[in-house]
Structure 1
Amino acid sequence: MALMGETVRPDRHHDRRTRPHDDASILEATERMTDFVVARLGVGRGSRVLDVGCGNGRPAVRLARTLGARVVAIDIDGEALRDGAEHAAAQGMAEMVRFRRADALDLPFADASFDAVLAFDVTPHLDVAALYRSVARVLRPGGRLVVETPYPRVPMTEEIRERIGPCPAAPSAVSSAVSGALSLDAPEDHLSAARRAGMTATELVDITESVRDSFSRLTRGPGERGARPEAGCGASGTARPPATFAAWADAAEVGGVVMTFTRMDRMEQ
């Protein structure tokens, strides 16, 4: 599907289906999910937002265009950053969205320099305790962090891990911001890590039913133009996230959640 002469690469995040047998395109449904998530940031014109693990930049650009906020979008994937910058320019949003290569656990920004932070389907790549400490430092008191992520709905057994677990990531493919393998953290782990970092949870929305099979549609969806992500592991053993996420999306043991945190004035000792 093309927009303004551009071949659209779908966002690699959950799409949102609002009813059974919803036949919305992947592009429409992922934008619907983007809108659902970014609305919780509580930002508007003049706000400064950090998008952690921005990928191809579609959510960052949509956030800036629909809410008027200025966005700094970071990732460690240079190709994704170039793609995002090209997309922002094509949409006339290059002045509103700035793309930068940066480590999520060692953010190169001043304390309290952002009004809100977005972490959209990125926490499975990261140590959540370290991420929340890093984010809390750059988030102003009263500012919000919004996290959208898959999570385990049941205790993870060895059988479940073997069935849906990811391939190990090759050392050369990761930085200090990315864990050695993709992993699922329970909401309780996020809440605890956020509290220790000086943030309090203000909303938790379970989106499991509306995102069921999202990544399966992304990896197998008919009618979408562009290269389809391959399944499984590469020759180097590097995990291909779309294939891993497809396994998670197909598993009844895995759900989806959107969590909103607010930065408190003081960090817990």
Structure 2
Amino acid sequence: MDAGNVRTAPSEIESTYNEIAALVGETAGPDRHYGFWAGPDDDTTISEATERMTDFVLARLDVGPGSQVLDVGCGNGRPAVRLARTFGARVVAIDIDRQALRNGAEHAAAHGMAEMVDFRRVDALDLPFATASFDAVLAFEVTPHFDIADLYRGIARVLRPRGRLVVETPYPRVPMTEEIRGRIGPYLAMLNAVSLDTPEDHLSAAREAGMAITELVDITENVRGSFPRLVRALRRRLETGAGAERLLDTFAAWADATEVGGVVMTFNRMEH
């Protein structure tokens, strides 16, 4: 699904997330990504399920003490801090949301990880890092904000040969019709998303950038419960009103969109 391939200004993305972050955070916790459930009968809480998803994704980075990792679109920094604490890697966590970066830095300091995680306000399409300076890169539910061809070229440049990129993202399971766009478009627009790309689009963009796919895991059935649970929690929390109803309707339409799935992809930077 293409949103016109027009890049949204970082300031607009930052403003949008500031508007919805507090509400969603109070309801579902500080992580800004899907939860991972074993199935419809799994009664894990949203916050526990998002941590489970974090562990599922981070394990694929294959890093350890001394590894240098770039977290692209780090949000509130929970995965970056968990990565440093669990694997001993040093992490540069970038985002354009200043409040999220402050939250991340505070969380790192509270867990004794301030020296291990460096939070910076950086545009992911203009990475100010030396060529081949990272052993791994994490892109955790952020690719819809970018033209992935541009994003992957920049990531490939800063990855060392045989370095690893792990991407977790929603994707369209079927060709997008006008009817589907009409239902899920408001949610993507609310997040200032540029596009919703298929796994094949990701593989093509990565290959053009000099990276090869090593693993693709479809997690659609595991993440399907994320937004229905969030909507139910929001309905219990929000007062009725036109603004609240519009927000809930937007989230509910995304929750009901069985045409949208989830995938985790692992790529390696080719040596030549």
TM-score (norm 2): 0.82
**TM-superposed deviation, 1:217:** 2.5
Query: 1:3 corresponds to which residue?
Result: none
C-alpha distance 201-13 of structure 1, shift in aligned 2 (>3 A): same
Query: 1:248 corresponds to which residue?
Result: 254
SS in 2 for 1:60: helix
Q: Match for 1:259 among 247, 254, 265?
A: 265
Q: Which runs of 5+ in 2 are unaligned?
A: 1-25, 238-242
C-alpha distance 81-246 of structure 1, shift in aligned 2 (>3 A): farther
**TM-superposed deviation, 1:247:** 3.5
Q: Give me the whole-angstrom Cα distance separating, in 1, the residues matched to 2:35 and 2:160.
A: 30
2:227 pairs with 1:207: no
Query: 2:180 corresponds to which residue?
Result: 160
Query: 1:10 corresponds to which residue?
Result: 30
2:31 pairs with 1:25: no
CA contact (8 A) 1:13 1:215 kept: no
C-alpha distance 15-167 of structure 1, shift in aligned 2 (>3 A): closer
Question: Displaced runs of 4+ in structure 1, greater than 6 A?
Answer: none
Q: Which runs of 5+ in 1 are unaligned?
A: 1-6, 174-179, 234-241
CA contact (8 A) 2:147 2:194 kept: no
Moved more, 139-148 or 20-29: 20-29
C-alpha offsets along residues 117-159 of structure 1, whole Å, 9 cap, x if unaligned? 0000000111100000000000000000000000000000000
Query: 1:41 corresponds to which residue?
Result: 61
C-alpha distance 230-58 of structure 1, shift in aligned 2 (>3 A): farther
C-alpha distance 79-230 of structure 1, shift in aligned 2 (>3 A): farther
SS in 1 for 2:186: coil
TM-score (norm 1): 0.82
Query: How many pairs were matched up?
Result: 242
2:72 pairs with 1:52: yes
Q: Aligned runs of 1:1-269 on 2, under 5 Å?
A: 9-166=29-186, 181-221=193-233, 232=246, 247-266=253-272
C-alpha distance 18-168 of structure 1, shift in aligned 2 (>3 A): closer
C-alpha offsets along residues 21-71 of structure 1, whole Å, 9 cap, x if unaligned? 211111111110000001001101110100000001111111111111111
Sequence identity of aligned pairs in percent? 75
